[in-house]
Amino acid sequence: MNWIEAHEAVFRLSLFALILLVMLFAEWRWPKRKLTRTRRERWSGNILLTVFNTLTLRVLAPVSAVGAASFAAASGFGVFNQFSLPEWAAVIVTLVVMDMAIWYQHKLFHQVPWLWRLHLVHHADMDIDVTTGARFHTVEIWLSMAIKGVLVALLGAPVVAVIVFETLLSGMAMFNHSNVGLPKRVDAWLRRFIVTPDMHRVHHSTRSHECNANYGFNLSCWDRWFNTYVPQPRKGHHNMRIGLNEISQPADASNIFGMLRLPLRWRILQRAYQHKKESWAHETGDRHVQKPR
C-alpha cells in the first residue's frame, strides 16, 4: 500500500491505460450494438472534453479527494482518525461508503433540475461506448470532486483507499459504458456483484423510467436494495434508443463547445423536462418488466 501512495500517478495512469486498451479491443472484437454515429464524430468531442476536465481539475481544484485524505491524516480529522481501526478495514469501509455515496450523488443529479442540466451532457451522447464513461460537463466534475473531498475528510479515509477508489471509479466507468457484448451467463453472474455494460446501458435509454434506474457504477447491490433496478431495456439492447430524444444534432451532442453550453440551451431543456415528466407518468408501471435482450 505504501508503494501505491508513493507512485500514485504511475499506478492510476497505468491501470487507466490498461483498462482503456482492453475495453477498446473488446469493443472491436465483441461489439454489442451497431453504433449510429461514427467513432470519429463522437470520440473527438468526448476525448477533448475529458482532457479539458482533467486540466481544469489540476489547475483550478484547490484540493483533490486524495489531497483531502492527506489533510485528514495530517490533522487527525475524520472518523477513522478517532479510532484505532486497522488500515485494511478502513480501506474496505471507505470503498463501500464512497461507492454508495456516488450512487446517491448520481441519483440526485437525475432528480434535482439544475443538477440534471449538467448531467444531461453525459446522457446526450447518441451512442454509448468506452469514451462515454468520462464524458461529463466540467461543472459536474468540479461538484463531484468537491463532494468526494468533503466525504473523504469526514471519514478520515486513508490516502491509499482514496487512490484505489478513484482508480476504480474511472476503470469501472470505462467497463460498464463499453459497447461490449458479454455472454448472457457471464453477465448474469457478474451483475450479482458489479455493474455490467448491459446493466448500465439501460440507464442510457431514451425511455424515462429506464434512464432513471441503474445508477450504480461499481457495486450492483444499491439499485437492488433501493428499488431502482431495471434488469433489461423494454425494447432489448439492439433496438433500444440511446441518448435524449430532445438532442439529435452533432453540434449539441458531439462537439465540445456544444456540450459545454448545453446546460444553458433553454428550449432544449424545457422540452427535456416536459418529456421527462410526461414519459415518467406513463412508464412507471414498466419498471420491473423483464424483456428479451
Q: What residues pair up with 242 in beta bridges, in sequence order?
A: 205
| pLDDT confidence tier of residue 4, bands split at 50, 70 and 90 | confident
What's the mean pLDDT in 247-253?
Answer: 76
201 pLDDT band (50/70/90 cuts)? very high
Distance CA 79, CA 87 (A): 13
Query: What confidence tens digit (pLDDT) does each residue in 164-192 have?
Result: 999 999 999 999 999 999 999 999 999 99
What's the pLDDT at 57?
Answer: 86
pLDDT at residue 291 in the model = 46
How far apart (Å, rounded) are the C-alpha atoms in residues 122 and 132?
7
DSSP tag of 234: T
Which single residue is written with the C-alpha cell 446501458? Answer: 201
CA distances from 246 to 125, 175, 205, 289 (A): 12, 27, 13, 25
Give the residue among 103, 117, 104, 124 at the shortest CA–CA distance from 49. Answer: 124
Give the pLDDT score at 94: 96
Q: What angle do CA 54, 57, 59 make, to 5 degrees?
A: 110
Chain-wide mean pLDDT for the chain? 88
Question: DSSP secondary-structure letter at 262?
Answer: G
End-to-end alpha-carbon separation of the chain, Å? 42
The pLDDT value recorded for residue 267 is 63
In this predicted structure, what is the pLDDT of residue 20? 95
Whether pLDDT at 246 is above 70 = yes
